[in-house]
Amino acid sequence: STLTQCSRSPLSDNEFRYYCDSVGQIIHQMELRKVIYAGGIEPSLRRVVWKHIMNVYPAGLTGKERMDYIKQKSAEYYNLRETWRLAVKEQGASINGELAYVTSMVRKDVLRTDRHHPFYAGSDDNQNVGALFNVLTTYALNHPSVSYCQGMSDICSTILVTMCDEGQAYICFSALM
């Protein structure tokens, strides 16, 4: 069998600008999604476009407001992350309940992440493996009705590789979930 070819080339930066107004808001949402579906997005542009198509931003924000929004949400993420990390540090080996369950489940899946990918290669103390663990644990503990389930690490790991930023990966993963 042959692989299905994309029907067009990936979305480029210049082409993306066509779908935006003067302050960078998407104005042709469905057209943009169809173009991406048919050909994908140039890898260098994914970090920007994914935030738009995952509906990370509230409607009507200018470029500067979007940057400020991401900074604010990233700071919120790091505060949430520090809350559970402090609890783990204080409780040590005696952690129990939801915290113990979530960290155990996430750790098992994170350690199974594709270690052949350069971003996650190497030992278990690879900082990117740690970042993936942090994002997933923070999400699960702050969304208890969803919590964590197997497979979330596969989705989140791709987002983290693309964003190359723990806070932004959390924001995108939360928006997607």
pLDDT score of 15: 93
Partners of 26 in beta bridges: 20
Give the residue among 124, 135, 125 at the shortest CA–CA distance from 157: 135
pLDDT at residue 3, rounded to an integer = 43
Q: What is the spatial distance between Cα 177 and Cα 115, in angstroms, rounded to a whole number?
A: 24
Tell me phi and psi for residue 20, to 5 degrees.
-120, 155
Q: What is the 3-state secondary structure (H, E, C) of 54-72?
A: CCCCCCCCCHHHHHHHHHH
| Secondary structure of 70-124 in HEC code, one letter for each residue | HHHHHHHHHHHHHHHHHHHHHHHHHCCHHHHHHHHHHHHHHHCCCCCCCCCCCCC
pLDDT given for residue 125 in this prediction: 87
Check: CB of residue 153 under 8 Å from CB of residue 120.
no
Closest alpha carbon to 167 in 74, 58, 85: 74
Q: What is the pLDDT of residue 2?
A: 41
One pLDDT digit (tens) per residue for the chain, 177 residues: 344 455 789 999 999 999 998 888 899 899 999 999 999 999 999 999 999 999 999 988 999 999 999 999 999 999 999 999 998 888 876 777 888 999 999 999 998 888 889 999 988 889 999 999 999 999 999 999 999 998 899 999 999 999 999 999 999 999 999
